[in-house]
Amino acid sequence: MLDAFPFSHKHNSSHHSVAALADTLWCDLPIDKSRKSVLKQKCLTAVLVNLWLSMQTTEYIAYARHKAYYAAIPTRYRVAYNTYNIMCGVIDGLHAMGLVDSVKGFKNPIDGYGVLTKIKPTDEAIKFLKPVIAEMIHDQQPPELLIVKDRATKTKLDYADNQTLTAMRRQLLEYNRLRQSAAFTLSGVTEADEANHKRFFKLFGVTGAESVWTLRNPFMFRSFNDDFEHGGRYYNGIESQMPKAIRKKLHINGAPAVELDYGSMHIRMLYHLENKRIKGNVYDDLAGGDPMLRQLYKLIALVSINSGSLGEALAAIRSELVSDKRELLVTTPDITDPGLRLHYDRWLKAHSAIAKYFNSDIGVKLQYYDAVIASGIIKHFTDKSVPVLVVHDSFMIEDKYEAELKSIMIREYMKVMKHKTNNITSYKSVFIYN
């Protein structure tokens, strides 16, 4: 299957050079220009930006070509030009001009499985877009910062606003404004870093010189599952796009960053829900010092919290082992259900005090708890005009605020879980002195 990512409404351009390219194409674009011409011109610019992104990643751009998809998008989430007639009209026009290659999508009428149509720039379009550079592309705030999705279908759901949601949205707006005023850079970037994480630097690097990279500043949003009491985590920040291997080189406003992480957060939450304390280490005691076994038990923990049944859990563990976690097969070469049960049952026995929560689909509720904790931490520092970055249960901040961040992390955890946690690990950034 061809590599592709969804059409991005998160990127756009108001740069005069990109505007000039769009104006040149607009004159010859074979579409009806008598209606909604302003929206069609905005769509044209967005398509050009996406074709440029396709050039950077050598991946296709996927988009929908059926009216029902566009009609189902609630108004609060919709970008004005993102309609069936405008999107398909502009892309078809570029195709007619020889600037877009297309791979038609399909849908299986038996099981409903479908694949979206994909596009990429032709050689002619690549020549046309060659003058465009990263500095000409900007990140764009989404129409709605509070997103609710149907867990089963992943479609976005509409909802009625209230005072709580208005306050939540206001906090997100203030947080994004603060982030947009901050500068995020990577210092001490090596050629190996750039080679190993090429896609990241192509998509999120703006300028790079003398081992220092200036990074994009995407807008944050929160995504909930089914309602406002499940999920709710923060997404889309540069910190969550960044490979963990290079996060230690992150600088905020020119200062080295420190990352503080709640250790084994969700497992500890389950113990605290039972008013109990963990005895020993969550994973190390089981692993007996074997780093591969430790990773296996971390995988089992994650899956058992997010699965709805034992069968579902074993299938998910097996799927991970044969795809993203193949290195762990040395610890458990037998991936049949009985083979996996050997490790799973050891995990269950070691944490029998919270066993009732395993395979109960509690993970999405735990995500809500950690999102509420994150919200409190973010509000504290936003009120002080200090940018703090978040990747679920990890937080990054200028290193001079490390002690304060740890204190606030402990305080906000206590507010939500009614128990104290001191299991917070610190990871320092590497600071390169010039």
173-187, 204-218, 362-376: which range is least confident on average? 204-218
Residue 222 has pLDDT above 60, yes or no: yes
Domain co-membership, 382 together with 261: yes
Domain co-membership, 237 together with 304: no
Q: How confident is the model at residue 59 (pLDDT cuts 50, 70, 90)?
A: very high
Residue-wise pLDDT for 136-188, tens only, equals 999 999 999 999 999 999 999 999 999 999 999 999 999 999 999 999 999 99
Distance CA 378, CA 387 (A): 8
In a domain, 324, yes or no: yes
Distance CA 88, CA 269 (A): 48
Q: What is the torsional sign of CA 408, 413, 419, 420?
A: negative
- At 327 the pLDDT is 95
Mean pLDDT, rounded, of the chain: 95
- At 426 the pLDDT is 87
Any idea what DSSP says for residue 327? G
Domain co-membership, 62 together with 206: no
- At 433 the pLDDT is 34
In a domain, 358, yes or no: no
In a domain, 276, yes or no: no
Residue 434, SS3 per DSSP: coil
- At 313 the pLDDT is 97
Residue 342 has pLDDT above 70, yes or no: yes
Domain co-membership, 339 together with 379: no
Distance CA 292, CA 74 (A): 45
In a domain, 271, yes or no: no
Contact 23/70 with Cβ under 8 angstroms? no
In a domain, 220, yes or no: yes
The β-bridge partners of 223 are 147, 233
Distance CA 381, CA 104 (A): 48
- At 53 the pLDDT is 97
- At 429 the pLDDT is 62
Task: Taking residues 6-26, report their average pLDDT.
Answer: 97
Domain co-membership, 26 together with 135: yes
Domain co-membership, 371 together with 257: yes
Domain co-membership, 262 together with 332: no
Domain co-membership, 150 together with 135: no
Distance CA 388, CA 420 (A): 22
Of residues 432 and 205, more confidence is placed in 205
Residue 305 has pLDDT above 60, yes or no: yes
Question: Among 350, 377, 408, which residue terminates a domain?
Answer: 350
- How many percent of the chain have pLDDT more than 70? 98
Question: Among 350, 374, 393, which residue terminates a domain?
Answer: 350
Domain co-membership, 132 together with 164: no
Domain co-membership, 182 together with 325: no
Domain range holding 314?
283-350
Question: Among 350, 379, 395, which residue terminates a domain?
Answer: 350
Residue 31 has pLDDT above 50, yes or no: yes
Task: Taking residues 250-265, report their average pLDDT.
Answer: 96
Domain co-membership, 46 together with 194: no
- At 107 the pLDDT is 80
Distance CA 65, CA 117 (A): 7
Task: Taking residues 79-103, report their average pLDDT.
Answer: 98
- HSE-CB at 225 with a 13 A cutoff on CA atoms is 15
Domain co-membership, 181 together with 220: yes
Of residues 289 and 126, more confidence is placed in 126
Q: How confident is the model at residue 79 (pLDDT cuts 50, 70, 90)?
A: very high
Q: What is the torsional sign of CA 375, 377, 379, 385?
A: negative
Residue 431 has pLDDT above 70, yes or no: no
17-21, 112-116, 198-202: which range is least confident on average? 112-116
Residue-wise pLDDT for 376-411, tens only, equals 999 999 999 999 999 999 999 999 999 999 999 999
In a domain, 275, yes or no: no
- At 111 the pLDDT is 73
Task: Taking residues 122-137, report their average pLDDT.
Answer: 97
Q: How confident is the model at residue 113 (pLDDT cuts 50, 70, 90)?
A: confident
Q: In terms of Cα–Cα distance, which of 243, 242, 267, 228 is closest to 355? A: 267
Of residues 275 and 110, more confidence is placed in 275
| β 146-149/221-225 pair status | parallel
In a domain, 321, yes or no: yes
In a domain, 395, yes or no: yes
Residue 253 has pLDDT above 60, yes or no: yes
* Number of domain units in the chain: 3
